[in-house]
Structure 1
Amino acid sequence: MTIIVKLVDEGAEAWGIVELQGDLESREGGTLQSKFVGDLHYTVQGGIPTLIIGHHILYGKSVSMEKPFAVLEKQHYCTEQGVKQTKYVAKAFVKKKLIFKVRPKPIIANVSQ
């Protein structure tokens, strides 16, 4: 599963990919596309990416990609002669990958009685 996220890197907008070991499955079944999956945070000390999905927490690391990806948008337009053309516009470049290799840990809250 590929999850594309917007990152803030040194004041400029950048995009990244979240890489998970294993699979994410919805309780309702079906695809997770365009659905809320979890919260992505960074620790204050060290800037370690932290992903919270339901009652689980995952710790990862941020890695620069050897070969960046381009995010393209397909656009249709007509020329002056009325011929339909297609062009692809680069919207962003994905230069970072957030890797979560470690098994998720359960989040346990202290409940006072």
Structure 2
Amino acid sequence: MQIPVQVSKDGLKEWMMVELQGELRCLPHITMGGRLLGDLLFNKQGVPVLLIGHHILHGAVQDLSKPVAVMKKVGDREGPEAHYSVTAVVHKKVLFKNRPKPIVNAGAPRLI
């Protein structure tokens, strides 16, 4: 069975992929599904910075060797109207491969 692939009527968007090296852990009774992971921003030099809790990670933008298509299934899989719509293309990824560094507030009062 062939399922046709079409370009979205809204045109293609360009997305970036985020790649984290290592493992993300949270408390055993908390699930990450649907939760905010952190804040991703770019500094003045264009370096990506990811803030997760009180940790900061610095990354790098890399080109993918092959672009990746982001597709959405439209219609019933078995029906004659079923097809995939390509909504975006990924050409670059943001890679975070170094260990996170703790964020320390130097102006906070010390409790002794």
Same fold (TM over 0.5): yes
Match of 2:19 in 1: 19
Structure 2 unaligned regions, length at least 5: 1-12
Partners of 2:30 and 2:80 lie apart in 1 by 40
**How does the TM-score come out when normalised to structure 1?**
0.75
- Picking from 73, 86, 91, the partner of 2:87 is 91
| Structure 1 position 42 matched with structure 2 position 38 | no
Unaligned 5+ runs, structure 1? 1-12, 78-82
**Larger Cα-atom Rg:** 2
**Structure 2 equivalent of residue 109 of structure 1:** 105
Which has the bigger relative contact order, CA under 8 A and spacing at least 6?
Answer: 2
| 1-structure distance, mates of 2:65, 2:33 | 26
1:24 CA drift (Å): 1.3
Count of residue pairs the alignment pairs up: 94
* Partner Cα separation in structure 1 for residue 52 and residue 38 of structure 2: 4
- Identity across aligned pairs (percent)? 39
SS at match of 2:75: strand
- 1:42-61 to structure 2, matched below 5 A, reads 42-44=42-44, 46-61=45-60
Q: 2:7 corresponds to which residue?
A: none
For residues 72 and 26 of structure 2, the distance between their equivalents in structure 1, rounded to whole angstroms, comes to 28
Is 1:33–2:33 an aligned residue pair?
yes
TM-score (structure 2 length as normaliser): 0.75
Distance, in Å, in 2 between the alignment partners of 1:51 and 1:87 is 36
